[in-house]
A = this chain, B = another copy of it.
């Protein structure tokens, strides 16, 4: 089976996406893979499988590879005398901006290229943490309290300390701080506002139980990963947390009641259905007094959360055979004809 891995992007998670792609090269070795790199200047390059090493990108060596452009149905490589098309299903592996904010989804939809990844609307609801809260409210899904703060706005936070401060539109813990008291607040806000003009404040719940669950829809049903209890630190720093992106060993199931697993799966299905079709997402939940709270939706999780699936390669295959059809609307000139008629022309 053929698959094009699209990675990179003009994003704070650019380097992380490269590491994710290198990990998937190994995990999807049974596939016939192409690698398409989007650099920070928004140019696409076709990368030799042998060149898939982190330094190839950080050094700028990738610029020696052939450039691609987008055309109807395919990435296209143009040389003086020929045109080669790459029209396989794309796995959108661009984390953060470009990949998760709806841009790449819109581009691939516009050019009628089939892809694994969140659609434009799903991207908007998961990329911006404020909109994830809107979604939770609309779907009656519990999530922790929050307040929104905007840059250049003075507002008191009514949530008691400790609180957690997050830029609205960044994943990967970038710009996130735990604030224990008033004194630490200004610095945390300055840090978060460096990345976004909107910031969320939430209560930081010490020792809360965290569970991650990934899944995707194929053949009309949701296929779940195992539930993982992620490694607990008071706060995961960027490096530790982002080992996720190079993770490839399957993890052990969390040691929890079946009843909780069922609740997590139910919440996952409510979030996914009607919005995330076409993508494999990871939802990070809190469990407080046996109640499930959504913390975050990762519509393109690090290394596609491969380590949560018993047979990751066949999961990706199943999903790629069950992608939504976006039928392009045919234009119709009836309106113009009826105006012309009315005008007697």
Q: Which residues of A come within 8 Å of B, CB atoms?
A: 8-12, 14-16, 18-19, 39-43, 54-55, 57-58, 69, 72, 97-98, 101-103, 105-107, 109-112, 120-121, 124-125, 128, 130-131, 133-135, 137-138, 150, 198, 238-239, 242, 246, 274, 328-340, 342
> Shortest CB–CB separation between residue A143 and chain B, in angstroms?
13
B120 contacts A106, C-beta separation under 8 Å: yes
Partner of A120, one of B69, B102, B246, B337: B102
CA separation between A297 and B137, bound complex, in Å? 21
B112 contacts A42, C-beta separation under 8 Å: yes
CA separation between A333 and B15, bound complex, in Å? 6
Partner of A332, one of B8, B15, B128, B336: B15
**Considering only CB atoms, which chain B residue lies closest to A130 in the complex?**
B138
Which of A41, A110, A128 has the largest count of B CB atoms less than 10 A from its CB? A110
B42 contacts A331, C-beta separation under 8 Å: no
> Shortest CB–CB separation between residue A22 and chain B, in angstroms?
10
CA separation between A274 and B153, bound complex, in Å? 13
Provided the pairs A110-B107, A331-B40 are in contact, do residues A120 and B138 lie with their beta carbons within 8 angstroms? no
Query: 15 A-B pairs, CB-CB below 8 angstroms?
Result: A9-B331, A12-B332, A15-B334, A19-B339, A42-B111, A42-B328, A54-B340, A97-B329, A98-B110, A120-B124, A121-B124, A133-B138, A134-B138, A150-B274, A242-B335
Provided the pairs A19-B339, A137-B138, A332-B14 are in contact, do residues A103 and B109 lie with their beta carbons within 8 angstroms? yes
Partner of A335, one of B16, B72, B102: B16
**Considering only CB atoms, which chain B residue lies closest to A121 in the complex?**
B124
9 other A-B residue contacts (CB within 8 Å) besides A14-B333, A16-B335, A42-B72: A8-B331, A10-B329, A15-B331, A40-B328, A102-B106, A103-B109, A106-B120, A121-B128, A134-B134
Residues of B within 8 A of A150 (CB): 274
Provided the pairs A42-B72, A138-B134, A331-B39 are in contact, do residues A57 and B102 lie with their beta carbons within 8 angstroms? no
A18 contacts B336, C-beta separation under 8 Å: yes
B336 contacts A15, C-beta separation under 8 Å: yes
> Shortest CB–CB separation between residue A126 and chain B, in angstroms?
12
A10 contacts B106, C-beta separation under 8 Å: no
**Considering only CB atoms, which chain B residue lies closest to A195 in the complex?**
B329
